[in-house]
Amino acid sequence: MLSPALFHPYVRCVGASSRINQKLPHTAYDHRLIAILEGSGIIEIDGCRISSEKGDFFIITPGTPYRVEAGTGQMIVVINFDMTHAKCDISSPVISVLSDFFEEQKIIEKRDTSSFFEGNYFVAKKPYGETLSLCRTLLDAYKEKADEKDDLYITGLFTQLFYHITKNRDDRHKDGVANDIYRHITENYRLPITLDQLSELFHFHPTYINRLMQKNYGTSVRQLILKCRFERALYLLDNTDMTVKEVAIKAGFSNPAYFSEAFYKKFGFYPSVYRK
């Protein structure tokens, strides 16, 4: 694990663009810090689609696939860096490659970053008021770099930026997304809900949404939907004179026959028997 005391970043490249629109996932051989200076768009990291807006920051570790979809007018700063100066002899920008052609053995520096954030990427949603100003200053300093002496100033600026991003990070970002998904399902379970719809709505990969729900609530999306629908069906069977078909429709089951079979599989008897 790389302790904060040993953090001595090497900034390899700083660039800005308003035209990044990657059709396919790319993977980098060094770390990436992506800052959103203006506008909004989407960043997909390791299969997870995340909305990106002005003031957001994303840190991506080497070997992690990502894809940037810049919205109209979106300005993005991309910083290539290492966590230490161990490989500072590699000073030229190291471009990312299409993920299908990535060669893991060529990663420049492998470091355990868990002292700063968990996982292979990190999201900071508008973490700190001065971070954008600091990022712009860093961009200008890199553009005006005259010799190696300026590297000390650039390293200092980046260290401050990295500190503010990770110190004031939104630890609850992913948990907050899970809460939003849970609330959406419990409020709309009577409507058709699919993983693809949730993915489109919350900008996360369907597989990741299931993992997120499993981690936070111990259930898959499908299991949660069925739980809500069965609870509603039991209430209607107990407290109304609706037919089984009507109960099925009201509880969110579009196919009454499927409802009866699913009910039997869940409880060991059919809805008509339960009511008796």
- pLDDT over 80 (residue 169): no
Residues facing residue 57 across a β-bridge: 35, 124
- pLDDT over 50 (residue 171): no
Among residues 143, 167, 191, the one where a domain terminates is 167
Residues 115 and 219 in one domain: no
Residues 152 and 185 in one domain: no
Residue 116: the pLDDT is 85
Q: Are 37 and 75 in contact (CB under 8 A)?
A: yes
Residues 115 and 242 in one domain: no
> How many domains does one find in the chain?
2
pLDDT band for position 91 (cuts 50, 70, 90): confident
Rounded distance, CA 177 to CA 189, Å? 18
Other C-beta atoms closer than 10 Å to the C-beta of 19 total 8
Give residue-wise pLDDT tens across range 181-204: 999 999 999 999 999 889 878 877
Rounded distance, CA 150 to CA 156, Å? 10
**Length of the chain in residues, anyone?**
276
Residues 122 and 195 in one domain: no
Question: What values do phi and psi take at 70, rounded to 5?
Answer: -75, 135
CB within 8 A of 108, min separation 6: which ones?
A: 29, 30, 62, 82, 87, 90, 94
pTM of model > 0.75: no
CATH of the domain at 114: 2.60.120.280
Residues 86 and 191 in one domain: no
Residues 163 and 177 in one domain: no
Among residues 167, 195, 220, the one where a domain terminates is 167
Give residue-wise pLDDT tens across range 41-87: 999 998 888 888 899 999 999 999 999 998 888 999 999 999 999 99
Residues 152 and 104 in one domain: yes
Residues 44 and 161 in one domain: yes
Q: Which domain holds residue 47?
A: 4-167
Question: What values do phi and psi take at 96, rounded to 5?
Answer: -75, 165
Residues facing residue 70 across a β-bridge: 41
Residues 183 and 248 in one domain: yes
Residues 99 and 32 in one domain: yes
Residue 246: the pLDDT is 96
Residues 160 and 120 in one domain: yes
Q: Are 182 and 224 in contact (CB under 8 A)?
A: yes
The segment with the largest mean pLDDT, out of 43-47, 164-168, 239-243, is 239-243
Other C-beta atoms closer than 10 Å to the C-beta of 269 total 11
Other C-beta atoms closer than 10 Å to the C-beta of 185 total 20
Distances 102 to 12, 46, 113 between C-alpha atoms, Å: 20, 14, 21
CATH of the domain at 270: 1.10.10.60
Residues 9 and 137 in one domain: yes
Question: Rg of the chain's alpha carbons, rounded to an integer?
Answer: 24
Residue 174: the pLDDT is 59
